[in-house]
Amino acid sequence: MIYFLIFFTIHDVLKAEKALKGRDVDIELVPVPRNLSSDCGMCIKLRGDLEGIMPYINGIEMDKCVSYDGKEYQFLAHS
């Protein structure tokens, strides 16, 4: 599964990236998909287990969290 983690600011995107750095997770910073948000910035694209990374980024407020199974996007509830 692929997840798009969309934050309010580029500052928070980089903060989340820093929190996940050095851990065994497959993340990439990509432009926010236009169908998911009108933001003109970046978000984190995660390939793998969402639950596994959440403890590391719990303190950073997320705007949207979206899963993508290759066919459909699904907006997920988040803290």
Partner 1 sequence: MIYLDNAATSFPKPKETIDFLNDFVLNVGGNPGRSGHALSLAAARSIFEAREKLAALFCVMDSERIIFTQNGTESLNLAILGLLKEKDHVITTSLEHNSVMRPLMFLSKEKGVGISVVQCSPDGNLDVGDIKKLIRKKTKAVVINHGSNIIGKVQPVGEIKKMIGGIALIVDACQTAGSFPVNVEEDNIDILCFSCHKSLYGIQGLGAIYIRNGIELAPLKFGGTGSRSESIEQPMFLPDRYESGTPNTPGIAALLGGLSFIERTGIETIIRRKQDLRQSILSGLSDIPQVVIYGDKDDGNQLPVISFNIEGKLPSEVGYELNKREIYTRVGLHCAPAAHRTIGSFPEGTVRAAPGYFTTDEEIAVFIDAVREIAGKTSAHS
CA distance 3 to 76: 10
Q: Which residue has the tokens 């719990």?
A: 58
Q: Considering the complex, what minimum distance in angstroms separates the CB of residue 75 from partner 1?
A: 16
Q: Considering the complex, what minimum distance in angstroms separates the CB of residue 43 from partner 1?
A: 9
Q: Considering the complex, what minimum distance in angstroms separates the CB of residue 1 from partner 1?
A: 22
- Non-local (6+) Cβ contacts of 69 within 8 A are 1, 2
Give the residue, chosen from 22, 24, 35, 38, that forms a contact with partner 1 under the rule CB under 8 A: 38
The interface with partner 1 within residues 6-25 (CB under 8 A) comprises: 8-12, 14-15, 18
